[in-house]
């Protein structure tokens, strides 16, 4: 392999393009910049700079993994979410841009709690990398959050991400089978639960099916298991005028709304993702409306 930055960019782009990757240009930039430690401007200002052998080798290995189908952010071991760099592990879902819809939906209600009480206690069910809780903490200096997951590995990664981004003092973690071990009262529950019906898992794109943890995807027979649990336990875990925001699969709005209605919640607002699909729902306890 060539050792100049420009040569490496050409080589990686050609390999990915020939292999049929739709985003070959963008992925080339992400891989080359990450593994060579260069920035976008370097490709223009110093394409002839020579990259040392260790970095070239690391890039070669990364390219081989990408050509074998591994998603680009899994190879990097990190992904940005809501402007925060987050480390990934094999037991954490790669946070998706669609989930930022949930953060945006939850922020105004969290700000309302802060203006009323001076704080907002947030419970993030199925926290994974900590993405949702940490995004909210990044926007709300007065808030604190508890991230819950069944995976000890995910919780360790979430805590690491909190520390890395400077929110460790306001973020704690709890290992729990969903709400089973959670105690206390929160102003706001947020959750992007596993919501794929078990029988659909095999139909998912290989990049998801093989590389995202099954436990982060499998929502049980009808995909609604974790919404059911959240709806059943929501009142116990919320203050009287508390709110609850969940991400949903694009076809689940009707079912999820019905489920929460059965447990005394009313839909306050819903939001679509950038593709225009239903993606996040905000509920309040019925008496609070």
Ligand X SMILES: C[S@@+](CC[C@H](N)C(=O)[O-])C[C@H]1O[C@@H](n2cnc3c(N)ncnc32)[C@H](O)[C@@H]1O
Q: What share of the chain is helix, strand, coil (3-state, %, to 5)?
A: 50, 20, 30
Among 27, 28, 79, 149, binds ligand X (CB under 6 A): 149
Does 129 carry a binding-site annotation? Answer: yes
User: How far apart, in whole angstroms, are the C-alpha atoms of residue 148 and residue 125?
Assistant: 5
How far apart are CB 231 and ligand X at their closest, in Å?
15
User: How far apart, in whole angstroms, are the C-alpha atoms of residue 26 and residue 39?
Assistant: 13
Taking the least distance from each CB to ligand X, the nearer of 193 and 223 is 193
User: How far apart, in whole angstroms, are the C-alpha atoms of residue 43 and residue 192?
Assistant: 38
Question: Kindly report the CA angle at 19 between 18 and 23, in degrees rounded to 5?
Answer: 90
Binding mask 214-243 toward ligand X (x if CB under 6 A, else -) reads -xx---------------------------
Does 194 carry a binding-site annotation? Answer: yes
DSSP string, 44-58: HH-TTPBPPHHHHHH
Chain positions 153 to 182 lying near ligand X, rule: CB under 6 A, are 154, 177-178
Binding range to ligand X, per CB under 6 A, among 49-57, 107-115, 128-136, 252-260: 128-136
Among 38, 101, 151, 252, binds ligand X (CB under 6 A): 151
Query: Tokens for 147?
Result: 């991230």
Sheet holding 278-285, edge to edge: 171-175, 143-149, 120-125, 186-191, 238-247, 278-285, 265-272
How far apart are CB 215 and ligand X at their closest, in Å?
5
Among 51, 84, 95, 244, binds ligand X (CB under 6 A): 95
In the complex, which residues of this chain contact ligand X (CB under 6 A)? 93, 95, 99, 126-129, 131-132, 148-151, 154, 177-178, 192-194, 215-216
Q: Annotated binding residues for S-adenosyl-L-methionine, as ranges? A: 126-130, 149, 178, 192
């Amino acid at each position: 392999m060539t050792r100049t930055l420009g040569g490496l960019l050409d080589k990686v782009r050609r390999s990915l393009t020939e292999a049929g990757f739709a985003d070959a240009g963008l992925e080339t930039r992400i891989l080359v910049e990450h593994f060579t430690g260069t920035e976008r401007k370097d490709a223009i200002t110093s394409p002839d700079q020579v990259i040392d052998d260790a970095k070239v080798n690391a890039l070669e290995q990364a390219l081989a993994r990408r050509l074998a189908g591994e998603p680009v952010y899994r190879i990097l071991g990190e992904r940005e979410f809501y402007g925060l760099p987050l480390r990934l592990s094999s037991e954490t879902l790669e946070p998706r841009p669609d989930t930022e819809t949930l953060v945006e939906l939850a922020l105004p209600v969290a700000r309302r709690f802060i203006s009323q009480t001076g704080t907002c206690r947030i419970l993030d069910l199925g926290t994974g990398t900590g993405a949702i809780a940490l995004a909210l903490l990044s926007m709300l200096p007065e808030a604190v959050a508890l991230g819950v997951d069944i995976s000890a590995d995910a919780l360790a990664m979430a805590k690491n991400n909190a520390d890395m981004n400077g929110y460790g003092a306001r973020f704690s973690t709890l290992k729990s089978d969903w709400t089973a071990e959670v105690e206390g009262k929160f102003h706001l529950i947020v959750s992007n639960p596993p919501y794929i019906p078990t029988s659909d898992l095999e139909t998912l794109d290989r990049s998801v099916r093989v590389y995202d943890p099954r436990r982060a995807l499998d929502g049980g027979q009808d995909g609604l298991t974790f919404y059911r649990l959240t709806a059943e336990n929501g009142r116990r875990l919320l203050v009287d005028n508390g709110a609850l925001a969940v991400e949903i699969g694009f076809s689940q709005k009707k079912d999820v709304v019905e489920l929460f209605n059965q447990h005394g919640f009313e839909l306050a607002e819903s939001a679509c993702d950038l593709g225009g699909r239903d993606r996040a729902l905000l509920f309040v306890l019925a008496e609070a409306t």
